[in-house]
Amino acid sequence: MEIGSMILLFSCVLFLLLSSCATLDTISTNQVIRDGDTIVSDDKMFELGFFSPERSKNWYVGIWYKKISTGTVVWVANRETTITDKSGMLELSRQGNQLICSGDNTVIWSSNLTVSAMNDNLVVVVQLLDTGNLVVWDRSTKNERVIWQSFDHPGNTFLPGMKIGKDLASGRERVIIPWKSADDPSPGPYLHWLDTNGYPQIFVRKGSVIRWRSGPWNGLKFQGWSIENPNPIYSIQFVMNEKEIYYKYDLKSSAVQRVLVLPDDVAVPLQWMDQIQEWVVHTIGAATDSCGGYGLCGPYASCNANRYPPCKCMAGFKPQVPDEWDRANGSSGCERKQDLDCMSGSGFKRISGIVFPDTRRSWYNHSMTLEECEMACRMKCNCTAYANSDIRNGGSGCLLWFDELMDTRENDDNQDLYIKLAASEFAGDSYARDKKDNNVQMEDLDELPSFSLNKLIKATDNFDINKKIGEGGFGPVYKCVMEDGQEVAIKRLSETSKQGLDEFKNEVICIAKLQHRNLVKLIGYCMHGNEMILIYEYMANKSLDTILFDETKSLMLDWPRRLNIIHGIARGILYLHQDSRLQIIHRDLKAGNILLDGDMNPKISDFGLARKFVGSDTAAMTRKVVGTYGYISPEYAVHGRFSVKSDVFSFGVLVLEILSVHGCIFTWLGSCNVSEVLRSIHVGLLCVQHHAHDRPTMLSVVLMLVSEGVLPQPKQPAFFTGQSDGEVQSVSSVDEDMITHLYAR
């Protein structure tokens, strides 16, 4: 073959290859996609083609992650109409409709493009975008337009950039419907949607029954979501204008993330980890609270899943059916103690720490002040409550309720709700304000059940020594079984304890208002004469120190468990410092105050020495230094100066203990992720730096533990007072050698 002919042939082949590459992410009207054919997004992240789920004989057109070996499907076209063999075809009609046909050309599925989008001059093409969105473009004019997109028809996966909500112009609602099962993409019984009646909120429905409600958007998040927004990983946006109402999230990093709604209605935020080639549950953005269903406690009552019974009437209300409430059934709800009478006047009772009641029967105005909102509620006789709609910048906007207050759930938000009550309900307020401090403190204990001493004596066989499982600074701890079969740990104040009534009250009042999976749950208390007793949930593996400092038991703590304990303690402290209703400095964090449940999940306990702080007042002085030496920070031990950074120091000591006690690190190091070990050591050293201002906040600690960014170099650790700089440097060099040694292994 002549050289010229070879060059021409090569040029033609190269042109065909380049043309093929250029259209790799598109389908035109003259193309047919069959089993084995795919199109791939430009960044090679997503792929579209035919697939069959595991243990299924049906075939579907879907989109999945191309870069991920597990073949994770994120969208399915023909969810309700299947193909039973490999003969299916996907094509694009000249009118812009996508058609899935069987082998005999029977149309199985169509994208059903609306007539308004069609015209005779359409130049259409299907493109798979880097976001995972499948788009039909009309390129007949200079300004191409989208005439159909898969993001308008979500399945069971919520992807970054996808909108969930309502297009007010077209009336189209974008909802999430989970699969029927792991092998069946057809729509299951659950539906997640943004309800735009009244002030928008997210609902979950099974059939016609509402299972869960998020609460309204408060400027940063939907109230029932336990998330941080903004955070370093993603941002959540809520948009409400005359054209559309929706929420979405966008990534701030290159992480691969999705929110998967499982067939049983569990929404799971997932992140792909290249190191282990698995999807892992993402820690930032843990989802919602739950009270076992919508409106469990009926009108004018609040629900707390961590309380028994879970229902409690709001201030100024009483049970509608007392006999049912006595049997721990609060579903009938509550009624007013005094009926509202517009002519006789009214007042408002402020409550906080709740997810607002159902807002479908509400009115809102984003420009009003709280004072204007109150006046509007006073002027409308049927208004039952009011609140700011936005918590940012001290609060703004107005929400008014015009019906029974339904589905109110207790949580850790500090947003206030003002409930309208009859004026007669406030007649005794002047007397109440004159009560002594001590009585007010005792009233705070009413949030927890009070147990009789006789009941506890019976449960413990008169505090039998054989039921004793330990002893701490407060006193002995007993394990027993209550009448309802619940296993509990009973902590009894001993006569020789240095703690007393103040510490007892402090613990009860603090922990009664705290709810977090990494804090021990206080079930109740008993005060009878000189007896002061606390009743906790029972922790099967007792305290961390009983395992960590035992050469045999410590072998139970492999690396995943140690890492889980470190992460759990960090999340618990972050909650105390930043996210709880009462922002708290623990002041006595140590291995003995970390309890472990049956699955080795950590729970922070012993709040007798804790101190509350408000707003930016995150530091204080004391003449009485409490806590455990070895764990307390140098500025606290020497000068009595404590702050949130004191807890950070104690956490750092705990981390280093968990990683190094008894030298047993070498028994699990070989099977662990060395980079995770080194990162944990690095974070621990950052936490025990000598100067408080050098230590990170617990939010930074949590983010450093779960991310892969570069960490700052730790400065001089705090060891003990009186050391010269030379002594500190010589000891520090030993730590550096140890880290180098671990890395080499």
3-class state of residue 138 by DSSP: strand
> Which of 401, 200, 178, 208 lies closest to 294 in space, CA to CA?
208
Those residues with Cβ within 8 angstroms of residue 400's Cβ, 6 or more apart along the chain or in another chain:
362, 363, 364, 373, 376, 377, 380, 383, 385, 386
Q: d(Cα 31, Cα 488) in Å, to the nearest integer?
A: 68
d(CA 731, CA 322): 67
Q: Give the pairing of strands 611-613 and 602-604.
A: unpaired
- 644-660 and 559-574 helices, crossing angle to 10°: 170
Taking the CB of residue 598, how many other CB atoms lie within 10 A of it? 9
First to last CA, the chain: 61
Write the single-letter amino acid at 735.
D
Closest listed residue to residue 211, CA positions, set 199, 222, 219, 203: 203
The pLDDT score that the predictor gives to residue 723 is: 36
- Apex 674 CA angle, 670 and 675, nearest 5: 170
8 A C-beta contact, residue 537 and residue 523: yes
Residue 245 belongs to what H/E stretch? strand 244-251
Distance CA 409, CA 289 (A): 9
Q: Name the 3-class secondary structure at 466.
A: helix
- Rounded CA gap, 41 and 18, in Å? 16
Number of H helices, E strands in the chain: 15, 47
> How high is the pLDDT of residue 736?
29
The single-letter DSSP state of residue 690 is: S
Residue 186 backbone phi and psi in degrees, to 5: -60, 155
- Please confirm, yes or no, whether 588 is among the known catalytic residues: yes
The per-residue pLDDT for 503 is 76
CB-CB contact of 562 with 660 (8 Å):
no
Write phi, then psi, for 503 (nearest 5 degrees). -65, -40
**Bond before 309 cis per omega within 30 degrees:** yes
Q: Give helix 674-687 / helix 698-706 axis angle, nearest 10°.
A: 170
Q: What is the dihedral of CA 325, 329, 331, 334, to 10 degrees?
A: 10
Residue ranges for the chain with pLDDT beneath 70? 1-23, 114-120, 283-290, 292, 427-448, 495-500, 614-627, 661-671, 718-745
Q: Which amino acid is at 598?
A: G
Torsion of CA 631, 633, 638, 644, to 10 degrees: -130
Catalytic residue among 289, 588, 606, 647: 588
Look at residue 58 and give its three-state secondary structure. Answer: coil
CB within 8 Å of 419: residues ≥ 6 apart: 314, 315, 316, 348, 349, 351, 384, 385, 405
**Domains within the chain, CATH numbers bracketed:** 23-153 (2.90.10.10), 155-287 (2.90.10), 301-351+361-434 (no CATH), 444-537 (3.30.200.20), 544-744 (1.10.510.10)
pLDDT at 428: 46
Could you tell me the two tokens for 115?
């007539």
Q: Are 385 and 419 in contact (CB under 8 A)?
A: yes
Instruction: Write down the pLDDT at residue 606.
Output: 86
Give the pLDDT score at 661: 65
For 240, 246, 248, 399, the CA distances from 168, given in Å and listed in that order, are 10, 10, 17, 22
The side-by-side arrangement of strands in the sheet containing 124-128 is: 26-27, 124-128, 134-138, 145-149
DSSP E strand boundaries for 52-175:
60-65, 73-76, 89-92, 98-101, 107-110, 124-128, 134-138, 145-149, 157-158, 164-167, 173-174
Q: What is the pLDDT of residue 737?
A: 28
Q: Residue 169 is encoded by which pair of tokens?
A: 């112009």
**H/E element holding 475?**
none
Tell me the whole-structure pTM to 2 decimals. 0.57
Rounded to 5 degrees, φ, ψ at 252 are -105, 0
SS (H, E, C) 568-587: HHHHHHHHHHHHCCCEEECC
Helices 559-574 and 674-687, interaxial angle, to 10°?
40
DSSP class of residue 711 equals: P
- Provide the residue type at 73 as one letter: V
Sign of the Cα torsion 658, 663, 666, 667 reads negative
Spatial contact of 109 and 100, defined as CB atoms under 8 Å apart:
yes
The angle at the Cα of 400, spanning 394 to 401, to the nearest 5 degrees, equals 130
* Neighbour order of strands in the sheet with 46-51: 38-40, 46-51, 60-65, 73-76
